[in-house]
Structure 1
Amino acid sequence: MLSFMLLISACGTEATGNSSSGAAESGTTPTNIKQGQAEGIPTAEQPQTKTVSTVTGDIEIPLQPKRIVAGEYLGSLIALGITPVGTSSHHIANPYLHDALKDVEDLGDGNGNLEKIAAMEPDLIIMDDMYAEMNEQLTKIAPTVIVPYASFKTVHEEVSYFGELLGKQKEATAWLADYDSRTAAAKERVLQVIPADSTFSILEYMGKDISTVGSNYGKGGPVIYNVLGFKPPAEVIDELTDPGWASLSTEVLPKYAGDYIVLTTDNQTMEDLKADSIWGGLDAVKNDHVYIWGADRSWYWDPIAILTQTEELTDWLVETKR
């Protein structure tokens, strides 16, 4: 009987060892995921984490964060079905995210107030790199992922990155599929009425200051250049690619003005532009090919804003040909 019991025990040990080896070889437990094992507490009850690489080094974040504070990149989080517990004031004011953020805590200007953020007791913080000193303090509150400003060149890059970061790959794939379908339909509508070689300018006219941007700084640039595929005037393409923006004087404005203009301004109307000796001489102004909107709508360029803006600008462009 003793010999028989020893034989059974040896077989059980061997079976357990083989099972563990098989799991490791199959990759079912990623090496960058760690799970706490406090004595006397079931492993399943411990929070799981994973290590991610960031511009500030490798950091350990929750596998399924529950209380995210995000000073930036709100559009991608909302697209993935994630509602943060707190965000900064300018995101609360985002008209494209208004409904999704109605119950989210306003953490103040910039990327938010440190004291307010700490009081939210977040388990993950997401920020850009615009406030380096503040970001150093945030790491003392919770794991903080820093993603440099304007890091992503396309909506696909941004949504896919956060889908991977937050374990929402399926949600990212589904949202991007809908995005692709809707933007493709918009582009098809536009190209039915606007020649593909038409030139476009993205301008801002605030006070006496005039500036122009390419595809990476909002104001309609991502929609016109990335989604709809139009180009700025050939003479300024290189400048609007690198550095991607320029401050202008009215004297050089004709050089930057395309067949169509998307104009951000809070104090100019079409009548004002037509009455101006330089603006009034631009073909886009003469032909009423100018889309005017305020900074409260044009300055946002998160994925949800870009999708909405694409459909709004498409409606305008189609209307210009009726």
Structure 2
Amino acid sequence: MKKKLSLFFIIAMLTIFVAACGSDKEAEEATTGAATNDTDAAEETKEITITHQLGETPVKVNPEKVVVFDFGILDSLDKLGVEVTGVPQANIPPYLSKYEDGKYENVGGLKEPDFEKIAEIAPDLIIISGRQQEAYEELSKIGPTIFLGVDTTNYMESFTDNMETLGQIFAKETEVETELAAINDAIAGIQEKSADVGPALVILANEGNLSAYGPGSRFGIIHDVFGLPAVDENIEISTHGQNISPEYLVEKDPEHLFVVDRGAVVEGESSAQQTVETELIKNTKAMTNGNIHYLDPNYWYLSGGGLVSVAEMVKQIEEAIQ
């Protein structure tokens, strides 16, 4: 009888123990599940404050509806695999032609945002640069707006900061770091050769007119970052460059002449070669030695400051000075 009672007691105790363990496990799973859900929810609603040239803006991490006005930022997001909702669809560079598709909202022109359309989108983030600077206050009323234009007087630092900001917002820090490392390695290769390159000049051709750009200017990266010596250190620094004549080219006689053709991307017609390669400059060093280089205006004029555009800019200069 005592053996039966002992056996019964042991079975009862085991049953209670198993039940207790099960309850503890369920409680643990419930707690863990709740914690996981809380973490997921926190990630979804996490915000960071972005400090930029025009102010400080709280931005949601991994925003879903993004409007982008800068083509350099657009090519960077494309490179990083980040989808956007709206873009200005006029004058989109051919390498970004996918964004002309109807699946993307057309949010106006580069200098004339369609405020009504943007308001309809109710974006989680709007990214602008220099061409939209005056619209910052109005856009900020519609949604969180940040300025990610490149400071041409401090090109690589500014570009790097912008890319790292994108990395933070879209949780792509590692990918950004990899892309920047590749670009910096390529630049280092150019810098090793630049000391042996003769004086260079960058000009913009626009409907028969010529403008020169020197160090610290819109296209000053050629001198300031890549290290090519400038044929003229005193060129006026302005957005539109310093107006010059063919006689100026003869006088300065650069060994390398880099030409950005604005008409090819804005007017749809290229006239740069006819404007530059005239009878007057046929005896200049650049023309005689075949060192007149026509840079792709899609990268240099429309969408500088992007992971793709800067990599292509580096590549073009590298090929020019081989």
* TM-score, with structure 2 as normaliser: 0.68
1:310 matched to 2:314:
yes
2:123 and 2:135 map into 1 onto residues whose CA distance is 16
Residue in 1 that maps onto 2:27: none
1:69 offset after TM fit, Å?
0.8
Q: Aligned Cα RMSD in Å? A: 3.3
Cα distance in 1 between the residues matched to 2:150 and 2:183: 23
Q: CA deviation at 1:62?
A: 0.7
TM-aligned CA distance change 1:105 to 1:295, over 3 Å: same
Identity %: 18
Please give the alpha-carbon distance, in whole angstroms, between the structure 2 residues aligned to 1:161 and 1:83: 18
In structure 2, the partner of 1:93 is 92
Q: Residue 227 of structure 2 aligns with which residue? A: 229
| Structure 1 residues 63-82: aligned runs within 5 Å | 63-72=61-70, 73-82=73-82
**Aligned match of 2:59:** 61
CA distance in 2, matches of 1:311, 1:121: 38
Give distance in 2, aligned partners of 1:187 and 1:276.
Answer: 33
- CA apart distance, 1:86: 1.5
Q: 2:140 is matched with which residue?
A: 139
Does residue 1:128 correspond to 2:126, yes or no? Answer: no
Say which SS state the counterpart of residue 158 (structure 1) adopts: helix
- The 3-state SS of whatever aligns with 2:175 is helix
**Offset of residue 248 of structure 1:** 1.1
Change (3 A) 1:197 1:121: same
Instruction: Give 1:183 shift.
Output: 3.7
Change (3 A) 1:296 1:75: closer
Measured in 2, the distance between the counterparts of 1:151 and 1:309 equals 14
Following TM superposition, by how much is the alpha carbon of 1:148 offset from its aligned partner in structure 2, in angstroms? 5.2
| Aligned mates of 1:122, 1:250 — CA distance in 2 | 48
CA distance in 2, matches of 1:215, 1:78: 30
> C-alpha separation between the residues in 1 aligned to 2:155 and 2:278?
38
Q: Deviations over 1:45-69 (max 9, x none)?
A: 3622223333443332212212211
1:97 and 1:218, CA in 2 relative to 1: closer, same or farther beyond 3 A?
Answer: farther
* Matched residue type, 1:283: K
Q: Is residue 2:182 matched to residue 1:178?
A: yes
The 1:104/1:154 distance shift into structure 2, 3 A limit, reads farther
Instruction: Say if 1:100 and 1:163 are closer, same or farther in 2 by CA, change over 3 A.
Output: farther
Specify the code of the residue in structure 2 equivalent to 1:136.
E
Corresponding residue number in structure 2 for 1:292: 294
* Change over 3 Å in CA distance of 1:312–1:53 after alignment to 2: closer
Task: Give 2:173's aligned residue.
Answer: 169
Q: 1:48 to 1:185 in 2, by over 3 A?
A: same
Task: Pick closer, same or farther for the CA change 1:217–1:83 going to 2, 3 Å.
Answer: farther
**Which runs of structure 2 are paired with 1:109-120 in the superposition (5 Å)?**
109-111=109-111, 112-120=113-121
What is the distance in 2 between the residues matched to 1:256 and 1:89? 40
Following TM superposition, by how much is the alpha carbon of 1:230 offset from its aligned partner in structure 2, in angstroms? Answer: 0.5
Paired residue secondary structure (2:290)? coil
Query: Which deviates further from its counterpart, 52-61 or 95-104?
Result: 95-104
Is the partner of 2:108 in helix, strand or coil? Answer: coil
In the TM superposition, 1:185-200 aligns within 5 A as: 185=189, 191=193, 196-200=196-200
Q: Distance in 2 between matches of 1:263 and 1:77?
A: 28
The SS at the match of 1:302 is coil
What is the CA–CA distance in structure 2 between the aligned matches of 1:151 and 1:275, rounded to whole Å?
Answer: 31
State how far apart, in whole Å, the 1-side matches of 2:296 and 2:51 are.
38
Query: 5+ residue gaps in structure 1?
Result: 1-40
173-182 or 288-297, larger mean C-alpha shift: 288-297
Change (3 A) 1:210 1:314: same
- 1:62 counterpart letter in structure 2: K
| Maintained 8 Å contact 2:88/2:109 | yes
Distance 2:76 2:216 in 1: 16
Distance in 2 of aligned mates of 1:53 and 1:296: 29
1:267 and 2:268 aligned: no
Aligned twin of 2:160? 159
**Residues 81 and 171 in structure 1, CA contact (< 8 A), matched pair in contact too:** no
Q: Where does structure 2 lack aligned partners over 5 or more consecutive residues? A: 1-36, 262-269
Aligned length: 266
Give the drift of 1:158. Answer: 1.9
| Structure 1 residue corresponding to 2:285, chosen from 274, 283, 286 | 283
Instruction: Tell me the secondary structure at the aligned position of residue 142 of structure 2.
Output: coil
Larger Rg: 2
The residue type equivalent to 2:142 in the other structure is I
1:190-225 per-residue CA deviation (whole Å, 9 max, x = no partner) reads x3xx76241111112223311011356556x43x32
Q: Taking CA–CA contacts closer than 8 Å with sequence separation of 6 or more, which of the two structures ends up with the larger relative contact order? A: 2
